[in-house]
Amino acid sequence: MKELTLREKVGQLIVAGFPGHDIDAETQRLIADYKIGNIILFAHNVKNREQVRNLCADLQDEITKQTGHPALISIDQEGGRVTRLPKDSVNVSGAMAIASTGRPENAYAAGRITAREMRELGINFNLAPVLDINNNKQNPVINVRSYGDTAEVVTEYGLQMMRGLQEGGVLAAIKHFPGHGDTAVDSHLGLPSIDKSLEALAELELKPFQAAIDSGAEALTSAHILFPAIEKTGVPATMSRTIITDLLKDKMGYQGLVISDCLEMNAIQKFYGTAEGAVGALKAGVHLLFISHSGQLVMDAVERIEQAVQSGELPIAIVDEAVEKVLQYKAKYGEVKDGGMTEAEHAVNRRAAEAISLESICHVSGTFEPIVPFAAGTIIIGSLPYRPDQASSLASAELSFPAEAGAALGTRHLVMDLNPDAEEQQRLLEAAEGCSNVVVGLYNACDNAGQLELANKLAAAGHRVTAVALGKPYDLELLEAGVCGLAAFEYTKLAIQSVIRILSGEAQPTGKLSLSLNHNS
């Protein structure tokens, strides 16, 4: 490391993103001139397995040539609502769905499957698992990305996922320290604040992180959240030396890689500025800085860090420590030498993912009966998917729960607006006349009250209603007594296929919720 220039050192501490399927001119310049040594991939970088494999190989070649070290190529591959791998890879269920299977070994299997699918493409760093406890039902960004609402469930399943990823040969980042579960603000859009004491955090939020640290966690993501009872200077955890160094490293004993959440998120960019946030994060003890979208902001951050070092504001010893930590994990994970996978191996992974998904479907309320062989008297109603938060994957234009379920089960189906008004509700009530069974696909209906109004009106009109929560299971708390509620947790092809198997009577809903709901039946 002694041979590295300051520019080369700073470049090792940055993770950059770019817009397309190939290395563009700006990214080429970031690597060549700014010595950027790491990359994050998003869905907009992903077309299919072959394209991603070639892209990652090109990135490794170029970054190694320009910096002398392999790249950490990262991706948010949590499963479920947050998936970035191509459709011809195997994408597993999300955290809350997996915990609802009641079998921690499924979390381990999901980690191993994900690691294998990533390594085949040349991706060596997964920004998962989520160890946030979803103890706030109004949380707009975590909810089903969490394994549950207790420290015990999150710890049991999150650590199995982490172990599966690590043993599968992928660096895994637990997130979002010291806990993003008890917020009602998305840090992509604003700056959340949690007014809890350190003692209160230690009783709940910190427990999964401490357990993961004790079990060998190698990477950890900081949260852009204010903790005013702990950090008095008015900066979020990512920029807080009290939280990152004093608490995480010194008190909790963490010795791994500390990474920032994206410094372009509004919680940092709007309130502090990305470049200032980068300097503040390094001062706090963060090792690796994510600036995931804007090449100009990457350049600004590199130049601001260099200026801070040259002026003495940022001691070079802090930079050197961070570089040493990054290079330590590059030595372990940087070179992905993988012979690829056969289609038969992908098929094994896909069958395992399908089995886990099927086990996750929960019968939450009312009396469940399959709609087949009564399909002729059934109508399936639901909205199309949308992107509920900035962390989630983009909604697929081709995916439609009512269309897929209707085609598979031989029933009529109708697509409703995401939040149907009184006029549309009346139209759908009239369309359902004469049907003994109505299946309603709810998608975050607790945020779109028209869906719930429709489901409850259909039940009041005498139909046997089966409501399927394809997002937050909290929707099912708001159904009238007697309505059958199924929790599927995510509006994905995998979850829809599992619901169809349940509705057809091919399988039973054996899942058990990993959180507490209040419902009327």
Same domain, 237 and 194: yes
275 located within any domain: yes
Name residue 439's beta-bridge partners: 380, 466
Same domain, 219 and 155: yes
Q: From CA 455, how far away is CA 434, in angstroms rounded?
A: 16
342 located within any domain: no
Helices and strands, counts by H and E, the chain:
18, 14
Same domain, 365 and 298: no
pLDDT in tens, the chain (521 residues): 678 999 999 999 999 999 999 999 999 999 999 999 999 999 999 999 999 999 999 999 999 999 999 999 999 999 999 999 999 999 999 999 999 999 999 999 999 999 999 999 999 999 999 999 999 888 888 999 999 999 999 999 999 999 999 999 999 999 999 999 888 777 788 889 999 999 999 999 999 999 999 999 999 999 999 999 999 999 999 999 999 999 999 999 999 999 999 999 998 999 999 999 999 999 999 999 999 999 999 999 999 999 999 999 999 999 999 999 999 999 999 988 766 889 999 999 999 999 999 999 999 999 999 987 667 899 999 999 999 988 898 888 889 999 999 999 999 999 999 999 999 999 999 999 999 999 999 999 999 999 999 999 999 999 999 999 999 999 999 999 889 999 999 999 999 999 999 999 999 999 999 999 985 54
Same domain, 392 and 296: no
Q: From CA 228, how far away is CA 234, in angstroms rounded?
A: 7
pLDDT of residue 374: 65
Q: Is 188 a catalytic residue?
A: yes
To which residue do tokens 């929560």 refer?
469
pLDDT of residue 376: 80
Same domain, 17 and 74: yes
Same domain, 202 and 117: yes
Of the residues 188, 246, 389, 447, only one is catalytic, namely: 188
Name residue 380's beta-bridge partners: 413, 439
338 located within any domain: no
Q: Is 261 a catalytic residue?
A: yes
Same domain, 372 and 433: yes
508 located within any domain: no
pLDDT of residue 521: 45
Three-state DSSP class for 189?
coil
Three-state DSSP class for 480?
coil
Same domain, 374 and 322: no
Q: Are strands 484-487 and 362-365 parallel, antiparallel or unpaired?
A: antiparallel
Name residue 130's beta-bridge partners: 175
Of the residues 224, 261, 463, 475, only one is catalytic, namely: 261
The vertex-113 CA angle with 207 and 260, nearest 5°, equals: 45
Same domain, 20 and 71: yes
Q: State the CATH number of the domain containing residue 436.
A: 3.40.50.1700
SS (H, E, C) 52-111: HHHHHHHHHHHHHHHHCCCCEEEECCCECCECCCCCCCCCCCCHHHHHCCCCHHHHHHHH
Same domain, 143 and 225: yes
Same domain, 311 and 378: no
399 located within any domain: yes
Q: From CA 509, how far away is CA 489, in angstroms rounded?
A: 13
Three-state DSSP class for 484?
strand
Q: From CA 501, how far away is CA 312, in angstroms rounded?
A: 63
Same domain, 444 and 484: yes
Q: State the CATH number of the domain containing residue 135.
A: 3.20.20.300
Number of domains in the chain: 2
Give me the amino acid identity at 179. Answer: G
176 located within any domain: yes
Boundary-marking domain end, from 333, 348, 382: 333
Range of the domain at 208: 9-333
